Amino acid sequence: MIKVGIIGSTGYAGGELVRILTGHKEAEIVWYGSRSYIDKKYAQVYQNMFQIVDAVCMDDNMEELAGQVDVIFTATPQGLCASLVNEEILSKVKIIDLSADFRIKDVSVYEKWYGIEHKSPEFIKEAVYGLCEINREDVKKARLVANPGCYTTCSILTAYPLAKEGLIDMSTLIIDAKSGTSGAGRGAKLANLYCEVNENIKAYGVATHRHTPEIEEQLGYAAGEKVLLNFTPHLVPMNRGILATEYAKLTKEVTYEEVKAIYDKYYADEKFVRVLDKDVCPETKWVEGSNYVDINFKIDERTGRIIMMGAMDNLVKGAAGQAVQNMNLMFGLKETEGLELVPMFP
């Protein structure tokens, strides 16, 4: 059994890690880290775990934890993992970081967009960007994985095949995305109160959202060029889900069949990416609670553009599910272990 430690186990992503890993045949959680609830029973924080998890919450002592487990998940705010990790720890244990600390290769870009000093830039080059469908072989050899963000996972996977094949003009790419409120985390914030969110939709982080450079960097690798794009996120009054609608100018005239063949080239053998039937638009309700990403596209012959669409659960494929998928790869397990979750409906 793989021994697992979680730092930040009582946030939404951490709680989802616990839910998924309790059903994993090859993993056992031995450390439920939570600075806010030290010595409190985990099931008192999340009552859904009553008589399922009997452990108490512990602190975030990564050095002590590294001697007790095989892998550490850090589901924590930006900056914490980078402040804790060091060579001695990485020599003992694998780390899957759900924050942005090691996602962006240029430390100056990270510090600009996140507004904090990076505490361990010496590990940025080594860290593998854990988008399994793209970096699977590198993930298998990694000791430090940067688990991608929710908006970024959906946005990148939706456009990746067409960027890779040079079918879209990257300078024209616009991404419009919506997220449920769990994407903002479990901390108490005025803007996330029920009365503030309900019966409302709003754009936020316009031209400044910190997932922008992550999307640009990864799609830039795919396209083989520097990418600048517009990314606008929106908050919608639902618990879970990401919906990305992306627009770009086509570089040549193409048919539906030609574009579908490109998506199939990259995703036909991917368990967790579902390219939908013609004219079926992705919806968040059909992926909720699962590790699936539903993708489709529509060619707009009138404007010479293509409209790409993707939907997924921000807490599963956008956070905890993808982290477990990375763990499975890192330890040579069946990639889908613990993740064959049928989407919940209603």
Residues 240 and 96 in one domain: no
Q: Is residue 278's pLDDT more than 90?
A: yes
Q: Tell me the two tokens of residue 89.
A: 């720890």
Angle at which helices 12-21 and 321-330 cross, to 10°: 50
310, 244 contact by CB (below 8 A): yes
Output the pTM of the full model.
Answer: 0.97
Count how many domains the chain has: 2
Instruction: Say if 303 falls within a structural domain.
Output: yes
Q: Tell me which residue range forms the domain holding 65.
A: 2-126
242, amino acid identity:
I
Residue 49: strand, helix, or coil: helix
Residues 99 and 179 in one domain: no
Residues 240 and 280 in one domain: yes
pLDDT in tens, 212-248: 999 999 999 999 999 999 999 999 999 999 999 999 9
Give the per-residue pLDDT at 341.
Answer: 97
Active site residue 150: yes
pLDDT in tens, 33-76: 999 999 999 999 999 999 999 999 999 999 999 999 999 999 99
Give the per-residue pLDDT at 186.
Answer: 87
Q: Tell me the two tokens of residue 194.
A: 């029920």
Mean pLDDT of the chain: 97
Catalytic residue among 57, 81, 132, 150: 150
Instruction: Say if 222 falls within a structural domain.
Output: yes
pLDDT in tens, 66-123: 999 999 999 999 999 999 999 999 999 999 999 999 999 999 999 999 999 999 999 9
Residues 309 and 170 in one domain: yes
Instruction: Say if 79 falls within a structural domain.
Output: yes
Instruction: Say if 146 falls within a structural domain.
Output: no
Residues 122 and 160 in one domain: no
Instruction: Say if 141 falls within a structural domain.
Output: no
Cα 132 from Cα 288, distance rounded (Å): 20
164, amino acid identity:
K
Instruction: Say if 62 falls within a structural domain.
Output: yes
Give the per-residue pLDDT at 184.
Answer: 87
Instruction: Say if 133 falls within a structural domain.
Output: no
Residues 122 and 157 in one domain: no
Mean pLDDT, rounded, for 157-179: 98
Count of beta carbons in the 10 Å neighbourhood of residue 38: 12
Residues 117 and 252 in one domain: no
CATH number (domain holding residue 110): 3.40.50.720
Neighbouring residues of 58: CB distance < 8 A, sequence distance ≥ 6: 31, 32, 33, 34, 38
Give the per-residue pLDDT at 23.
Answer: 96
Instruction: Say if 225 falls within a structural domain.
Output: yes
CATH number (domain holding residue 279): 3.30.360.10
pLDDT in tens, 122-155: 999 999 999 999 999 999 999 999 999 999 999 9
